[in-house]
Amino acid sequence: MVTPPETPRIRDPLLLAGHARQLRRSILKMIHTAKSGHTGSSLSCIDILVALYFAEMRHLPINPEWSGRDRLVLSKGHAAPALYAILHHFGYISANDLGRLRQLESILQGHPDSRRCPGIEASTGSLGQGLSIAHGMALALRDGPKQPRIYAVLGDGELQEGQIWEAVMSAAHYATSNLCAIVDANGLQIDGPVHEVMRVSPIADKFRAFGWNATEIDGHDFSALLAALDGAREHTEGPTAIIAKTIKGKGVSFCENRVEWHGKAPNAEELANALAELEGGQ
């Protein structure tokens, strides 16, 4: 059997930042066309997803079902537009698909649907379940060929779900080292700042107390993201959590750190301003 070529890696932070900028544009256009979607959350986690898909994960767009692939579970499923933008970049889905986000019978449902959309590993949207799903995948695949790595991207507000800590406990118990949780810690949730609604900090200490390897980084710094992902891969005693401090709405000044942009779509004027801000540069 021919082993498929792994996706070429890009590890240059400047190149990654350039891709992230283009993908932010794609996210905004997609949500604007749909007239609904989660702008702030998609913009806060896109750099994490770029680091994973461009630099870290083994995946094969011509064969989304390749058994040796690493897998991503977007546990904070409302950030789906960020994942869709990436899947489009790699050719899993078409530009036409992007234009049909959240439409009837579209493969791009409001929250990721693994039965409809190629490249989506798990149907998510109901918060708190993705880490358990990712852990199940990791347990099932860790003794097999290629030993795929499984990544779960969580929100910091999502950590309020009790099931997250059940999964944190069980992954530590089973020392599932091919599992990596990345917390998109943008500090905001629908009703306000996370520390006001229901404090979850200190996040890294909590993961460590459960027996995880945990690191805290700037979630928009590609050098830091890549180093943290390297560290997670090299840690073989158990699972790793990367607490990525991020800015909700990152890249569009009028969205940044604004709670009202959690689930709001930009109108035509806002889109034009945002795209202008994201033009040129690196």
Q: Which residues bind another protein (CB under 8 A)?
A: 67, 73, 113-115, 121-123, 125-126, 128-130, 132-141, 143, 162-163, 166-167, 169-170, 173-174
Select 90 or 174, whichever has its Cβ closest to another protein.
174
Contact 70, 59 (CB under 8 A): yes
Select 52 or 138, whichever has its Cβ closest to another protein.
138
Min CB(70)–another protein separation in Å: 12
DSSP for 93-155 reads S-HHHHTTTTSTT-SS-SS--TTTSTT--S---STT-HHHHHHHHHHHHTTSTT---EEEEEE
**How many other β-carbons are positioned within 10 Å of the β-carbon of residue 163?**
15
Select 115 or 269, whichever has its Cβ closest to another protein.
115
Min CB(73)–another protein separation in Å: 8
| Nearest to 72, CA basis, from 101, 98, 49 | 49
Min CB(167)–another protein separation in Å: 5
Min CB(177)–another protein separation in Å: 16
Select 98 or 127, whichever has its Cβ closest to another protein.
127
Task: Report strand pairing: 71-74 vs 150-155.
Answer: parallel
Min CB(114)–another protein separation in Å: 5
DSSP three-state, residue 174:
coil
Select 86 or 164, whichever has its Cβ closest to another protein.
164
